[in-house]
Amino acid sequence: MTTLNVNVHHVTRVEGHGSIVVDVKNGEIKECRFEVVEAPRFFEAFVRGRPYSELSHITSRICGICAVGHATASLEATEKAMGVQLTEQATLLRKLMFHGEIIDSHILHTYYLVAPDFLGAGSVIPLIETHRDAVLLALRVKKLSGDLCAIIGGRHTHPCALTVGGFTHTPGERELREIQARLVDARADMDASVDLFASLPWPEFERETEYVSLHKDDEYAFIGGTVVTSDGFSYPIEDYKQVTNEECVPFSTAKWTHHNRDAYMVGALARLNNNHDQLHPRAQAAAAKLGLRPIVTNPFLNSAAQVVEMVHCVEDSIRIIDELLSRGVQPEAPAPFKVEATEAVGSCDVPRGILFHHYVYDEDGICTRANCIIPTNQNMANLNADMKVLLPQILDRPQDEVRHLLEMLVRAYDPCISCSAHCLKVEFV
């Protein structure tokens, strides 16, 4: 009978600290779970007392990878609370910068963190020798996405120029044209990426679950819209708690969530499952090539869905820049607003899935309560459910292979553990 003891303390090539614990005695599974052991950071507690103008700058520091996503969700909340109406130009620039972050995060995950598993390496570094073209492609696209964010916000990690009402800086038309030319060139890199990832031997595993994402009627949703699930539910963003139902679990500094089932999944695969028809035609073609026909129920393919989203964001960025240039890009002051006692919820579908920021402000615009619900937390229950179904199917394999597959499963979720342990408030309002 099988006896396995897998204890991966601090899984590598993920953002933050998490551990896999598996204990099998005589074929019976005693323990099988993913623990988040990241140090809690208590953002919701310490943003209390800070002025509205600082909130997006403080909360972007929850995560170095999805800093633009946190800043944008934070501004969505604050701007909704203060009744800000963004200009068309500012709205386009927010979307463009968000696309930059999606590409940046997905290229990091697919090439630097996931690809080594398939190419027999422990990291991207040995691949510089063995798969130099792929590494150079990744470096090139990573630089492009970082530069795209930088011309708009100053930098990708912790953007400077995002502010309530718009931006404190406007990119020049020449900068936009130059970056657009590089995006057009990147089509070849996208095609090569689709070919590469379509050729990988993805682990075979299916487990149907509920997929949760934002949805908009007129575009593939990343910023705002409504919350939808593949089980047919739909909620306004304000009702997010009906979806998330957070709870503490003793072995994790990340809280867990559930909705219609015991668990649900968020992220690129959930978005693709819910909003596939709104992807750019080139991205839909990429999805077909990668074998992604909704509903896709293999969680390992979340990384493949990220490749599809990179294609979409490259194409949509080219389109947005066309639109900006045809309108003419003008320096703009942030849109006006009135500070008053108020509250609101903002939501974005960031690289790892749907994210909520909920703030209450007093009459001076000082934050008195805050709640942030992070994609990685929402995926924790689902990841654990996957592990429990996957493990019995692979029990007869050597222990090293079991460990490796479980690590790959964790990595497929692209967990952002720093985010997850940014710390969430239990009771709100």
Partner 1 sequence: MDNGKPKVAFFDFACCEGCQLTVIDSLQTHLDLLDAIEIVQFREAMSEKGENYQIAFIEGSCTRQEDEERLHKIRDQADIVVALGACAHLGGINALKNLHPLEDVRKWVYGDKAAWYDTYPARPIGAVIEVDAFIPGCPIDREEFVRVVKALLLGTKPPIPDYPVCVECKLKENVCLFDLGKICLGPVTRAGCNAICPSYGAACEGCRGLIPNPNENAMKDVLAKAGLTVEEIMSRFTMFNTYQLQERMAEEE
Which chain residues interact with partner 1 by CB under 8 A?
10, 12-17, 38-42, 44-50, 54, 57-58, 61-65, 67, 108, 112-113, 116, 122-125, 128, 139-140, 142-143, 146, 153-155, 157-158, 160-161, 163, 167-169, 248, 250, 253, 418, 423-427
The CB density around residue 236, as the number of other CB atoms within 10 Å, is 12
First to last CA, the chain: 52
Read off the tokens for 325: 């240039």
Nearest distance in Å: CB 65, partner 1: 6
Q: How far is residue 355's CA from residue 346's CA, in Å, rounded to a whole number?
A: 8
The owner of tokens 């509920």 is 210
Closer to partner 1 at the Cβ: 211 or 256?
A: 256
368, amino acid identity: T
Beta carbon nearer to partner 1, 321 or 424: 424
How far apart (Å, rounded) are the C-alpha atoms in residues 259 and 39?
A: 27
Q: How far is the CB of 62 from partner 1 (least distance, A)?
A: 6
Q: How far is the CB of 289 from partner 1 (least distance, A)?
A: 28
Strands 264-265 and 234-236: unpaired
Q: 225 vs 351, which CB is nearer to partner 1? A: 351
Find out whether 358 and 371 touch, Cβ atoms under 8 Å. Answer: yes
Residue 238: which region, alpha, beta or left (left: phi > 0; alpha: psi -120 to 50)?
A: alpha
Of 48 and 327, nearer to partner 1 (C-beta) is 48
Residue nearer to partner 1 on the CB measure, 43 or 220: 43
Write the CB contacts of 157 (distance below 8 Å, at least 6 apart in sequence): 64, 65, 67
Q: Which residues contact 351 (CB under 8 A, 6 or more apart)?
A: 65, 66, 69, 101, 102, 105, 106, 109, 267, 268, 306, 414
In the complex, what is the shortest distance from the CB of residue 317 to partner 1, in angstroms, rounded to a whole number?
A: 19
**For residue 355, what are the β-bridge partners?**
348
Provide the minimum distance between the beta carbon of 424 and partner 1 in the complex, in angstroms, as a whole number: 6
Angle, to 10 degrees, between the axis of helix 399-412 and the axis of helix 375-394?
150
What minimum distance in Å lies between the beta carbon of 155 and partner 1? 7
**135: which 2 tokens?**
């590494």
State which residue, 285 or 366, has the beta carbon closest to partner 1: 366
| 167 vs 211, beta carbon nearer partner 1 | 167
Contact 226, 233 (CB under 8 A): no
CB of 15 to partner 1, least distance (A): 6
Structure tokens at 83: 């009744």
Question: In whole angstroms, how close is the CB of 177 to partner 1 at the nearest point?
Answer: 20
Minimum distance, C-beta of residue 136 to partner 1, in the bound complex (Å) = 9
Is the CB of 45 or the CB of 389 nearer to partner 1? 45
The C-alpha R_g of the chain, in whole angstroms, comes to 21
Is the CB of 241 or the CB of 261 nearer to partner 1? 241
Closest CA to 265 of 376, 187, 171, 417: 376
**378 is written with which tokens?**
């929402």
Residue whose CB is less far from partner 1, 297 or 332: 332
CA separation for the pair 26, 46 (Å, rounded): 48
User: Which C-beta is closer to partner 1: that of 366 or that of 395?
Assistant: 366
In angstroms, what is the minimal distance from the CB of 414 to partner 1? 12
Q: Closest distance between partner 1 and the C-beta of residue 37, in Å?
A: 9
Pairwise CA distance, residues 192 & 169, whole Å = 35
CB 270 within 8 A of CB 299: no
